[in-house]
Amino acid sequence: MRFGIFYEHQLPKPWNPGDEARMFHDALEQVVLADRLGYDYAWEVEHHFLEEYSHSSAPEVFLSACAALTKNIRVGHGIRQVIPNYNHPARTAEGLATLDIISRGRLDFGIGEGATRLELGGFGIPAREKRAMAIEAAEQIANMMVMDPYPGFEGKSFSFPCRNVIPKPMQSPHPPMWMACTNRDTIKVAASLGVGALAFSFVNPEEARAWADIYYGIIKSEACVPIGHAVNANIAMVSNFSVHHDRDEAIRRGQEGFEFFSYAVNALVAHDAVPGRSTLFEDFQKSRAASDDEIIAARKAAKFNANGIGTPDDIRQHIAAFQAAGVDQVIFLQQAGRNRHAHICESLELFAAEVMPTFKAEVAEREARKQKELAPYLAAAMARKTWMKPLEDHEIPVVPSSRPKAQINEAAG
């Protein structure tokens, strides 16, 4: 089992001077701590204009800082908005390769498309076409990172001439590719494209098993036709995360933040928004069904379901259930709502000291067994891929210089 940490860079109102900067620098400190403690991944989203919910509009900058400050933890775009209206595919390929070099081959590349009208409308993206636009761009980003030169492309959502897109990434053929998944349908899409599934929905272990069965069933089938130059067969599940020896204190420290996260995901799609006048956290507090103390009392009266919040023993059972379900990585959402920096660091330390070693001891054997089992299926999937034809030297077009028009006409005549 691998373990990641996950950032939306949430900042509920009211905002005070310096709050936004403090939030970013606290997150950097958390990633540095996670690296020292042995966590495997630091993931960050890309969103635009989503006040309070996500101030992560330039993940390439944050992840570059993470790479420079750490030594072992992998840095992941979880996800990068790949539709050309957000980020031109060539610019994405350049940025990914540069970050892969800066991190010395520690980058993972998740693809996404956005879901809210604030984002899609802001960049003029038709909601009904966003999935196709994202997949088309992602395939060409992979080609750009590998091909020398990139032959050029005429597509539905963008066109690009023959160019050698540089630099090339350190990892071969390119950083592992993932896709954001919020339901069973997108799990199917990720598997059919041969990319890892970043399951950003809070599901119980029973549902996680169903998702994993669907995902790996497609990976092993003829429906898997990779868009990248390698298959990344992995499924990661996001989880709440608040750990304390006192279960009640773990709930007090984490419960409200994770409820806000879930509330905001729905509200940003279902509710109207007024740019610059967000009342997201205020609306959440008015709608909250029960206080922390009421939740604590209710959970004492029934069998406790940790769901990432509780004692080390609670969390150990929670992780074991995901492992048994076939999940490869659990990603902890530890920065949500108004969760405090000190409490986040304490949870990271306690989990690393008392829970992580149980699962780390099994990683190498489990992954070797999985690799052996999947090898023939992944080879078959790559054989089904339709490859972009590289250009022979005589086919590479000459790009005219910037000479004045008169000189060009003279040379031609």
For residue range 270-286, what is the model confidence (pLDDT) as tens digits?
Answer: 999 999 999 999 999 99
Task: Indicate whether 329 pLDDT > 60.
Answer: yes
Task: Indicate whether 412 pLDDT > 60.
Answer: no
- Confidence band for 406, pLDDT divided at 50, 70 and 90: low
User: What are the backbone dihedrals phi and psi of residue 333, each rounded to the nearest 5 degrees, phi first?
Assistant: -90, 90
- Confidence band for 210, pLDDT divided at 50, 70 and 90: very high
Question: Tell me, what's the pLDDT at 229?
Answer: 98
Half-sphere exposure of 348 (CA within 13 A, CB side): 30
Helix/strand/coil for 87: coil
Question: Tell me, what's the pLDDT at 297?
Answer: 81
Task: Indicate whether 119 pLDDT > 90.
Answer: yes
Q: What is the mean pLDDT of residues 288-301?
A: 78
Question: Tell me, what's the pLDDT at 200?
Answer: 86
Q: What is the mean pLDDT of residues 229-248?
A: 96
Q: What is the mean pLDDT of residues 316-343?
A: 95
Q: What is the mean pLDDT of residues 118-142?
A: 97
Task: Indicate whether 403 pLDDT > 80.
Answer: no
Rg, Å, the chain Cα set: 23
Distances (CA, A) of 313 to 250, 276, 305: 12, 43, 12
Task: Indicate whether 304 pLDDT > 80.
Answer: no
Pick the closest to residue 388 from 141, 113, 85, 81 (CA basis).
141
Q: What is the mean pLDDT of residues 3-17?
A: 97
Share of the chain above pLDDT 70, in %: 96
Q: Determine contact, residues 65/29, Cβ cutoff 8 Å.
A: no
> Which pLDDT tens digit goes with each residue over 18-39?
999 999 999 999 999 999 999 9
Question: Tell me, what's the pLDDT at 300?
Answer: 67
Q: What is the mean pLDDT of residues 169-195?
A: 96
User: What are the backbone dihedrals phi and psi of residue 381, each rounded to the nearest 5 degrees, phi first?
Assistant: -65, -45
| Ramachandran assignment for 390, one of left (phi > 0), alpha (psi -120 to 50 degrees), beta (any other) | beta
Q: Which of 98-107, 173-182, 304-313 has the lowest mean pLDDT?
A: 304-313
Q: Which of 20-29, 99-108, 111-120, 196-205 has the lowest mean pLDDT?
A: 196-205
Structure tokens at 112: 């996404």
Structure tokens at 340: 């405090």
Question: Tell me, what's the pLDDT at 294?
Answer: 82
Report the alpha-carbon distance of residue 136 to residue 159 in Å, rounded: 11
Question: Tell me, what's the pLDDT at 302?
Answer: 60
Task: Indicate whether 400 pLDDT > 70.
Answer: yes
- Find the largest Cα–Cα distance for the chain: 91
Pick the closest to residue 324 from 385, 399, 237, 241 (CA basis).
237
First-last CA distance in the chain: 68
Helix/strand/coil for 335: coil
Task: Indicate whether 411 pLDDT > 70.
Answer: no
Pick the closest to residue 57 from 93, 24, 105 (CA basis).
24
Q: Determine contact, residues 141/92, Cβ cutoff 8 Å.
A: yes
Any residues with CB less than 8 A from the CB of 365 and at least 6 apart, and which? none
Pick the closest to residue 140 from 125, 124, 159 (CA basis).
159
DSSP secondary-structure letter at 361? T
- Confidence band for 301, pLDDT divided at 50, 70 and 90: low
Q: Can you name the residues that pair with 161 across neighbouring β-strands?
A: none
Structure tokens at 223: 């429906």
> Which pLDDT tens digit goes with each residue over 66-109?
999 999 999 999 999 999 999 999 999 999 999 999 999 999 99
Share of the chain above pLDDT 90, in %: 89
Report which residue type is found at 38: G
What's the whole-number average pLDDT of the chain? Answer: 94
Question: Tell me, what's the pLDDT at 303?
Answer: 53
